């Protein structure tokens, strides 16, 4: 790995119990967790995918790479040129680094099934991977994720009396102990009550139409003729999607409609941008702690809340990830 910008890595990120942690500590933690090695493999796969696409005579076009960069700017609210320039300067990146990252991501998604064998048999030049790794770390959002993870582990460990100067393995174990202590019956019951509606699961048949007139006709067909969504889909030349959705996974307007629907009911059209969505509800399941998946969700939520509390009480940020 060619070294990331030293000036970035030396910047103070947060303090806890009088000890300052820098971006270098975050990168070291990512290496300790194995996350940096995984990201290096991801960068190598992206380069291999680009090479495969070019060899096959289907190189990525500049327009689609630019569109990927535009998606990144919208996602990160970097629409103004000045905002984009400031973000790049913060990480000592060039706009070409962002375009290259987008190209790797696009190519990797298209050729995923062939990548492992390709990388194993003909790995990209290590220098190319090294040059890509810092932009990959930043643009993927992994560096920011590691920063929050490290802050959370240190704060949780400190909550049970472990010094932030301890070895990272000791900090990790103390953080786990903090999680175990927070997992009381009372807390888990409160979390389940607070998130019960979010975790309701709905077995449903979904139909998505793009034409408003067709959507109105479909609604009449359901109401007046009792037609099923598969029958309407066949008439409209569309397809239905059989799904099991947790309410929290659905778009807000659709989630609200699904939450209020009963088994056997057909709802819609729900307008989502330029889409008109119908859903036939087959069944609904209210979350209980007897369900292993619900147990996992509750445990993750309890840990998250405890960590957020510890971060809020113990971490002082010099800059936000």
DSSP line for 171-239: HHHHHHHHHHHH--HHHHHHHHHHHTTTT-EEEEEEEEE--HHHHHHHHHHHHHH---HHHHHHHHT--
Which part of the chain has CATH 3.10.50.40?
201-285
Give the whole-angstrom CA distance, residue 185 versus residue 26: 34
CATH topology of domain 201-285: Chitinase A; domain 3 (3.10.50)
| pLDDT 10s digits, 111-169 | 766 666 776 777 888 999 999 999 999 999 999 999 999 999 999 999 999 999 999 99
pTM (two decimals): 0.82
Per-residue pLDDT tens over the stretch 170-224:
999 999 999 999 999 899 999 999 999 999 999 999 999 999 999 999 999 999 9
Sorting pLDDT into bands at 50, 70 and 90, what band is 49? confident
In this structure, the number of other CB atoms found within 10 A of the CB of residue 29 comes to 22
Q: Which helix (H) or strand (E) holds 159?
A: helix 142-159
Mean pLDDT of 280-292: 93
CA–CA distance, 154 with 159 (Å, rounded to integer): 9
């Amino acid at each position: 790995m060619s070294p990331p910008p030293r000036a970035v890595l030396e910047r103070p990120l947060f303090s806890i119990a009088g000890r300052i942690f820098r971006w270098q500590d975050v990168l070291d933690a990512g290496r300790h967790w194995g996350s940096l090695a995984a990201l290096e493999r991801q960068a190598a796969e992206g380069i291999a995918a680009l090479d495969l696409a070019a060899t096959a005579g289907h190189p990525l076009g500049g327009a689609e790479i630019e569109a990927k960069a535009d998606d990144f700017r919208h996602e990160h609210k970097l629409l103004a040129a000045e905002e984009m320039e400031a973000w790049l300067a913060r990480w000592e990146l060039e706009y070409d680094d962002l375009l290259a990252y987008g190209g790797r991501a696009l190519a990797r998604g298209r050729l995923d099934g062939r990548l492992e064998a390709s990388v194993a048999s003909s790995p990209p030049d290590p220098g190319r991977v090294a040059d890509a790794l810092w932009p990959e770390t930043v643009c993927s959002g992994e560096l920011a994720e590691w920063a929050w993870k490290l802050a959370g582990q240190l704060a949780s460990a400190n909550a049970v009396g472990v010094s932030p100067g301890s070895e990272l393995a000791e900090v990790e174990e103390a953080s786990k102990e903090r999680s175990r202590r927070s997992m009381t019956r009372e807390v888990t019951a409160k979390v389940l009550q607070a998130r019960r509606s979010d975790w309701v699961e709905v077995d449903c048949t979904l139909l998505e139409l793009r034409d408003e007139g067709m959507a109105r006709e479909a609604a009449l067909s359901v109401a007046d003729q009792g037609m099923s969504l598969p029958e309407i889909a066949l008439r409209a030349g569309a397809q239905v999607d059989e799904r099991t959705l947790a309410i929290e996974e659905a778009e807000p307007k659709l989630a609200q409609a699904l939450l209020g629907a009963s088994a056997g009911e057909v709802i819609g059209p729900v307008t989502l941008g330029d889409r008109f969505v119908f859903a036939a509800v087959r069944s609904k399941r209210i979350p209980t702690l007897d369900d292993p998946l619900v147990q996992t969700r509750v445990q993750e939520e309890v840990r998250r809340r405890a960590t957020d509390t510890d971060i809020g009480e113990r971490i002082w940020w010099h800059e936000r990830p």
